[in-house]
Amino acid sequence: MKLSHIEHIGIAVKNLDESIKFYEEVLGLQCYNIEEVKDQKVRTAFFLVGLTKIELLESTDPEGPIAKFIGKKGEGIHHIAYAVDDLQKNLDELHQKGIQLIDKEPRGGAEGLNIAFLHPRSTYGVLTELCEHPDQTHS
Ligand code: ZN
């Protein structure tokens, strides 16, 4: 397994528009993309810091995973996403090592990336996402 960098940090927020203001007006970042990911019942906003993005996530459904996360833990860091090449191969290797996977196969995420989540039970409590740019698929 070879992680090239932290692709993004996902942060669960109750109100996307309000939280964007904080990132822009206080932290001085620029939101360059707002996107709804229907599959995950979220609206996302992206900021770039160096190579790493901040992904704000607002639930579009009271039963969605982000709404449930906030209900349990409150707003805050939701997941860390690492960039990898050949996501499927990495998932197969992790599976062989006994790591519990939420996604055994890559699926489409925001920004056209292929993504997969590892279960926090296998990662010391951190919901961990792996993502690859589609042009880096080798299989
Ligand atoms: Zn993510």
Question: 4-41: per-residue pLDDT in tens?
Answer: 999 999 999 999 999 999 999 999 999 999 999 888 89
Instruction: Give the three-class secondary structure for 70.
Output: helix
Distance from residue 109's CA to the centre of ligand 1 (Å): 7
Read off the pLDDT of residues 41-85 as tens digits, 9 standing for 90 and up.
999 999 999 989 999 999 999 999 999 999 999 999 999 999 999
C-alpha to C-alpha distance for 137 and 49, rounded to whole angstroms? 25
Distance from residue 47's CA to the centre of ligand 1 (Å): 12
Looking at the chain, list the stretches that DSSP marks H as alpha helix, in order from N- to C-terminal side. 16-21, 65-73, 87-96
The answer to whether 130 touches 84, Cβ cutoff 8 Å, is yes
pLDDT at 62: 95
Distance from residue 75's CA to the centre of ligand 1 (Å): 15
Q: What are phi and psi of 118, to 5 degrees?
A: -100, 145
pLDDT value at 138 more than 70: no
pLDDT at 139: 47
Q: What are phi and psi of 53, to 5 degrees?
A: -105, 155
Mean pLDDT of 96-120: 94
Distance from residue 97's CA to the centre of ligand 1 (Å): 23
